[in-house]
A and B are shown apart, each in its own frame.
Chain A
Amino acid sequence: MSDIEKILIEKSKNGDIESFERLIEKYQIVAFNIAYRMIGNKEDASDIAQEALIKVFKSLKSFRGDSSFSTWFYKIVTNKCIDAIRKMKKVKTYSLDKEFETDNGNYSIEVGDNRYLPDKLYEIKEKRELVHSALKRIPEKYRTVLILRDIQGFTYEEISRIIDNPLGTVKSRINRGRLLLKEILIEESELFLEN
């Protein structure tokens, strides 16, 4: 944490909006992008990112400074996103998670047969759209770590602190998340090519 950041945090704690806006200047775009990839659309992402930022502003007083501000900040952002996703699910009363969930609550992934992702993707130009919609289909606990790791480039240790889970959990979630995403990408690209 830089000295300037510390000063801005102290001022923000007293309700100084201008200092707070300076403090979050470089973080808010990342917050919005995390929300966008988590939620899937920009309107909701914008609302949720703002809610998260307001929460940061309100709870700054409880930030003691023994952890890094950015970790603390992104923890609030990811929690807000996960809360929002759960609320949305309640409304829909339909869970995509179930797709891969077995009876004992684990996620089963079939070992890939002769389906080979790079071949499938070769003909598809709209790779970005494909990835975006595939991400939405994997359960949020995997989606979170993949967004943090592969889109935003956080380290395993940072992710462990942000999602408040042991390093081992992070490792296995990243691994499983990528495997899941791979399966969905293959499926989606097949669907895409059929149409």
Chain B
Amino acid sequence: MRCENFREIISLYIDNELNQEETIEIEKHLQVCEKCSREYEDLLTVKKLLSETPQVELPENFKIELHKKLVETAPQIDNNIKIIDFYKKPKKKFNWKMYSSIAAVFLLMIVSVAVLKNNDMGINKFTRVEDSVPESQENMPMEIKENGMMYSSDFKRRAAGKPGEFTMDGSDLDIFTKEVPKITRDESIVKEFTNSDSKIILKAHLHLGVKDHDSAYKEVKGLVDESGGYIQSHDISNKSFAENNTKKLLKISDMILRIPRNKFDNTFKELVKLGTPVSQNTSSHDITREYRYTLEKVLSLQRDEKELREALNKEKDISEVNDELKRVRKEMSKLKDSIENWDDLVELSTIDIKLEEVVLKDKGIEN
């Protein structure tokens, strides 16, 4: 074997990818050629160095960032929640095409609800608007048409009312809650969202050095009460203190405060004044997109649930439907939990505060 050929396949030898014949050739050459056997050792070293390269950990916020991006991407994938696209670019102009197609969607939904359900529940809702409507099925299509038109004009009115700032945000959710209450059984969740446009979680961390723990604690409590919030948790511990022959036992408090979001800024400012800040930071986390996405998902699950319940009445093979219904309900309650949790976090900002009693060595600093 010539050195050139050796160099061509030496890595394969290292990786045990050669057949027996080639392996023997290589080994023979290794014994006679010093240059090539050095090369071989060099390459073994290269391979060893590479294989010792450590696996690095994922960056701290990798999964969170990814999750956000996935949430932004998901609506493009899931056909059931196409409606979310409307939220993405709030339209300033009145768009007939869009609204008429939305109206068509609702029309369709109402038809399906009415046809599927075929009970007075659905019809009653519709007749609330129009006074005298017979409860016979032949009249349904006309009835629905009227409702469809009503929606359109409703949109128009809204658009005309505030032309500059009219957006699709929440409006169609409004319709979900107002006009088709049977579909959204849990109205409270949905309605709440329509009231405010963005969902922002405010958080703060504050570590304070204080001269007198107990009086600082009282002041914190005062501020919390004033804001209408509450203290979620409070731990007090004693700091072992071996410096400067001080006999006084120093206290440390760790508290989690929940402050209504509109009082957050002021309360935080006041809290900072209570001592010497060791560290502090505030952060806001906008979850509007995730929130809307989850909300839509709940709505779609509620529709699934309804269909399944109906299927349950008709089908003979119940166990399969039952399982599916269980799954839907489980998922729905999980999503609702996270919505409730978000609501709580948005409504009440969270401040975690540490009060650390300190003895100032230099009396001069004290004032």
Binding site for B on A (CB under 8 A): 13-17, 20-21, 28-30, 32-33, 36-37, 42, 46, 49-50, 53-54, 57-58, 61, 111-112, 116-118, 121, 127-128, 131-132, 146, 149-151, 153, 156, 171-172, 174-175, 178-179, 181-182, 185
B353 touches A (CB below 8 Å): no
5 A-B residue pairs with CB within 8 Å: A29-B55, A54-B73, A117-B45, A179-B43, A185-B46
- In the assembled complex, the CB of B281 is this many whole angstroms from the nearest CB of chain A, namely 22
Residues from 99 to 133 in B contacting A, C-beta threshold 8 Å: none
B197 touches A (CB below 8 Å): no
Chain A residue contacts of B57, Cβ below 8 A = 29
Chain B residue contacts of A121, Cβ below 8 A = 45, 49
Query: A171-B12, A182-B46 are contacts. A118–B41 as well, Cβ < 8 Å?
Result: yes
B15 touches A (CB below 8 Å): yes
Chain B residue contacts of A146, Cβ below 8 A = 50
- Do A127 and B49 touch across chains, with their CB atoms under 8 A apart? yes
Q: Which of B59-67, B233-241, B268-276 contacts A (4 or more CB under 8 A)?
A: B59-67
> How far is B46's CA from A36's CA once the two chains are assembled, in angstroms?
19
B24 touches A (CB below 8 Å): no
B51 touches A (CB below 8 Å): yes
Query: A42-B56, A128-B53 are contacts. A112–B39 as well, Cβ < 8 Å?
Result: yes
B92 touches A (CB below 8 Å): no
Mask of B13-50 contacts with A, CB within 8 angstroms, 1/0 = 00101000000000000000001001101110111011
| Given A149-B15, A156-B15; 7 other pairs, CB 8 A cutoff | A28-B58, A33-B55, A49-B62, A58-B77, A116-B38, A127-B52, A171-B12
Chain A residue contacts of B81, Cβ below 8 A = 15
Chain A residue contacts of B38, Cβ below 8 A = 112, 116
Chain A residue contacts of B65, Cβ below 8 A = 46, 50
Chain B residue contacts of A151, Cβ below 8 A = 50-51, 53
Residues from 56 to 96 in B contacting A, C-beta threshold 8 Å: 56-59, 62-63, 65-67, 69-71, 73-78, 81
Chain A residue contacts of B17, Cβ below 8 A = 156, 171
Ordered nearest first, which 10 A-B pairs have the shortest CB separation? A15-B78, A150-B50, A15-B77, A175-B11, A117-B42, A15-B74, A17-B70, A46-B59, A131-B49, A151-B53
> How far is B3's CA from A118's CA once the two chains are assembled, in angstroms?
21
- Do A178 and B11 touch across chains, with their CB atoms under 8 A apart? yes
Chain B residue contacts of A127, Cβ below 8 A = 49, 52
> How far is B46's CA from A185's CA once the two chains are assembled, in angstroms?
8
B149 touches A (CB below 8 Å): no
Which of A15, A127, A185 has the most B CB atoms < 10 Å from its CB?
A: A15
The residue in chain A whose Cβ has the minimal distance to the Cβ of B13 is A175
Chain B residue contacts of A61, Cβ below 8 A = 77
Chain A residue contacts of B10, Cβ below 8 A = 175
- In the assembled complex, the CB of A65 is this many whole angstroms from the nearest CB of chain B, namely 18
Chain B residue contacts of A172, Cβ below 8 A = 8
- In the assembled complex, the CB of A122 is this many whole angstroms from the nearest CB of chain B, namely 10
> How far is B65's CA from A171's CA once the two chains are assembled, in angstroms?
37
B318 touches A (CB below 8 Å): no
- In the assembled complex, the CB of A55 is this many whole angstroms from the nearest CB of chain B, namely 10
- Do B66 and A53 touch across chains, with their CB atoms under 8 A apart? yes
- Do B53 and A175 touch across chains, with their CB atoms under 8 A apart? no
- Do B51 and A117 touch across chains, with their CB atoms under 8 A apart? no
Chain A residue contacts of B43, Cβ below 8 A = 178-179, 182
- In the assembled complex, the CB of A9 is this many whole angstroms from the nearest CB of chain B, namely 13
The residue in chain A whose Cβ has the minimal distance to the Cβ of B4 is A111
> How far is B56's CA from A49's CA once the two chains are assembled, in angstroms?
13
- Do B46 and A181 touch across chains, with their CB atoms under 8 A apart? yes
Chain B residue contacts of A17, Cβ below 8 A = 67, 70-71, 74
Chain A residue contacts of B47, Cβ below 8 A = 150, 178
Chain A residue contacts of B35, Cβ below 8 A = 111-112
* Candidates A20, A156, A175, A181; contact of B70 at CB < 8 Å: A20
Chain A residue contacts of B8, Cβ below 8 A = 172, 175
- Do A29 and B58 touch across chains, with their CB atoms under 8 A apart? yes
Which of A29, A32, A117, A181 has the most B CB atoms < 10 Å from its CB?
A: A117
- In the assembled complex, the CB of A148 is this many whole angstroms from the nearest CB of chain B, namely 11
> How far is B43's CA from A13's CA once the two chains are assembled, in angstroms?
44
- Do B42 and A112 touch across chains, with their CB atoms under 8 A apart? yes
- Do B54 and A128 touch across chains, with their CB atoms under 8 A apart? yes
